[in-house]
Amino acid sequence: MGPEDGVDDREYGDDDVDYGDPHDYDNLDEDRSEFADPGGRSALRAETEDNPRNLPCPNCGAEDVLTPADRAHGYQCDRCADRAERGDDY
């Protein structure tokens, strides 16, 4: 919505609301460096000094598979995520 389509954004408010999420979703294709496997199938975050891969999977209990960022997003390990996508049991 905007002047180009004849809609006054002030009437509807900001349509680019971030809801407190610090990520810039308009530029997702530009920077995927925060992911462990950029462009791959995994949604897990990259391991760094400040984000060590030292947490267990909440489903299968595999050790050292998640980072604190992964846990904050409510993620599970890749093996469990793959099983869930196939509809398999954990």
Q: Mean pLDDT, consecutive 10-residue segments, the chain of 90 residues?
A: 55 52 55 79 92 96 96 95 86
**pLDDT for res 24:** 55
Phi, psi of 5, rounded to the nearest 5 degrees: -110, 15
Q: CA 38, 64, 56, 84: dihedral to nearest 10 degrees?
A: 40
Q: CA 38, 39, 44, 48: dihedral to nearest 10 degrees?
A: 0
What does the domain layout of the chain look like in residue ranges? 53-90
DSSP secondary structure letter of residue 51: S
**pLDDT for res 38:** 81
pTM equals 0.62
What single letter denotes the amino acid at residue 25?
Y
